[in-house]
Amino acid sequence: MRCGDRWNVRDESGQVLVLATIMMVVLIAFTGFAIDVGHAYLVQRQLQAATDAAALAGALELPDRTRAEQVARDYGPEPTKRNTLRSNDNAAITVETKCVTAIITGCTPGSGVNSISVKSTSEVKTVFAKVIGFDSFTVKANATACSPCSVKPIDIMLVLDRTGSMCQKSNGADDHPACTDLANAREGMKTFLGLMNPVFHHVGLTVLPPATNVGQRCAAVPGSNNYNYNLSTAAYTVVPLSSDYANLVSTINCIQAGGRTAYAKAIEQAQAELDLNGRPGVQHVIVLLSDGAANTGDTTLPNSSPYKAQPCHQGITSSNVAKAKGTTVYTIGYDLNGAGTDYEQCHPWSWTGPGQLPLESPPITSFAAMGGDSGPPLMVPGISSSFETFYNKPNPGQLNDIFLRIASDIFRTAQLIDDSLT
């Protein structure tokens, strides 16, 4: 280098530092963004799992629309619910029940529901992504479940207590011509039938007291022959198992109340109909509705006969025989305690009236005989009993809800389906 020459040299170390700082900020921002996105993805997976669980849990309660929606919300991802998000992110859901005809039979639009749709959203707050203007991410999840998802064949015998008390008020006063309790029973059974599909579900009707014969199924219950209990030709099953519901509905509408209570042979005759006309390999079900304790029997039998001396205990025995054959037996206790606080006691055939002795030995109440225990007189679905499942309705009123719950239990299968089908 010659003397006098000058180099144009500038120190660029500061620029490198600036560039490095910018790159570091960008790197941190994208790393933070990735962390926030990863967190949002995790929340979405949790949200989807909770939404699936809510839909499946709700579907198990179908076709009871109100109960299904309530259970779905209880199993949802919202705060304080069973599947609350494990993160601190809030969630909200909407629940809708509907009839899906695309893949499922058993309902028609406007009549019944067989699916439940749950939609969930969550606002996921960000930490690092705020730097680039993302304060939160909205994640969503949808799930639809059906029940029943495929209709399986079932043979069902309805057993109706049509005794005189079904046309009395809770205080024992006459309730003719309204017969409110019997009217409620009719509506409950017809609600139940409305959930059935005659292609798959065969349904019949057994009554107590029995009819003189099938042709007299709509006639008043006679006082002679111990309300037909003594007749060897008494017709307990007044409508055989059938896929034609017209005769069944007509009979439900025309039957009259009268007589006293003995449900053992009615259960046996319902099972006999299932044995005779039930389809092989098909689930068999008996649904018994009664509003009181058994207190009579076939008086032509020996005094030692349990049908005569222990009508309530014999009812339990008859139910156990049906269960041993694979039949599922449901019982509905309807206004079992009447106007009082204590449940009616069971009496043998020699009982002469309310408050009179003797009592059935060992003592047993109507509540215990129908399958209850010493618990409170609430409508309790799912009590395992000497029958199968006991539903108690302590006060007179509509029975539609109980019949809906029994249908839900019979159809208790659920699966997720494609949302696009809804």
> Could you report the per-residue pLDDT of 134-185, keeping only the tens digit for each?
788 899 999 999 988 877 899 999 999 999 999 998 778 899 999 999 999 9
Residue 314's pLDDT is: 93
pLDDT band at 408 (very low <50, low <70, confident <90, very high): confident
User: For residues 408 and 316, what is the distance between their CA atoms, to the nearest angstrom?
Assistant: 24
Q: What is the pLDDT of residues 228-246, one digit of tens each?
A: 999 999 999 999 999 999 9
Q: Are 328 and 286 in contact (CB under 8 A)?
A: yes
pLDDT number for residue 413: 83
Q: pLDDT class for 353, splitting at 50, 70, 90?
A: low
pLDDT digits (tens, 9 = 90+) for 277-304: 999 999 999 999 999 889 999 999 999 9
pTM: 0.79
Averaged pLDDT of the chain: 85
Please report the pLDDT score of residue 11 as a whole number.
Answer: 56
Residue 127: per-residue pLDDT? 77
Query: Of 148 and 266, which is predicted with more confidence?
Result: 266
pLDDT of residue 374: 39
Average pLDDT score over residue span 90-101: 90
Tokens 């198992």 belong to which residue? 241
Beta strands 136-146; 115-125: pairing state: antiparallel
213 vs 356, residue with greater confidence: 213
By DSSP bridging, strand 115-125 and strand 92-98 are: antiparallel
Pairing of strands 383-384, 328-334: unpaired
pLDDT at residue 378, as a whole number: 32
Tokens representing residue 361 in the block: 């030995």
List Cβ neighbours of 135 (8 Å cut-off, separation of 6 or more). Answer: 125, 126, 129
**Cα end-to-end span (Å), the chain:** 87
Distance from C-alpha of 109 to C-alpha of 322, rounded to nearest angstrom: 37
d(CA 83, CA 101): 30
378-406 average pLDDT score: 67
Length of the chain: 422
Supply the pLDDT for residue 296. 92
Q: How confident is the model at residue 211 (pLDDT cuts 50, 70, 90)?
A: very high
Tell whether the model's pLDDT for residue 384 goes beyond 60.
Answer: no
What pLDDT is stored for residue 12 in this prediction? Answer: 56
More confident residue, 153 or 387: 153
Domain residue ranges of the chain, discontinuous segments joined by +:
13-146, 154-410
Residue type, position 228, single letter: N
Least confident range from 40-44, 171-175, 309-313, 353-357: namely 353-357
Which range among 86-100, 198-212, 270-284 shows the weakest confidence by mean pLDDT? 86-100
Confidence class for position 75, pLDDT limits 50, 70, 90: very high
Would the pLDDT of 117 be above 50?
Answer: yes
Residue 375 is predicted with a pLDDT of: 37
Question: What is the mean pLDDT of the segment spanning 15-27?
Answer: 64
Sign for the pseudo-dihedral over CA of 263, 267, 268, 272? positive
Give dist(CA 239, CA 247) in Å, integer.
Answer: 7
* Homologous superfamily of 154-410: von Willebrand factor, type A domain (3.40.50.410)
| Span 243-260, average pLDDT | 96
Residue of higher predicted confidence among 124 and 238:
238
Q: What is the DSSP letter of 167?
A: G
Strands 136-146 and 415-417: antiparallel
Dump pLDDT digits (tens) for 313-347.
999 999 989 999 999 999 998 888 765 556 788 88
pLDDT tens digits, residue range 411-420? 888 889 887 7
**Residue 293: how many CA atoms within 13 Å on its side-chain side?**
28
Residue among 153, 182, 188 at smallest CA distance from 274: 153
Give the CA distances from residue 221 to residues 148, 251, 255, 419, in Å, rounded to whole numbers and listed in that order: 39, 14, 9, 53
Percent of residues, the chain, with pLDDT higher than 90: 50
The pLDDT score that the predictor gives to residue 379 is 32
pLDDT of 5 higher than 50: yes
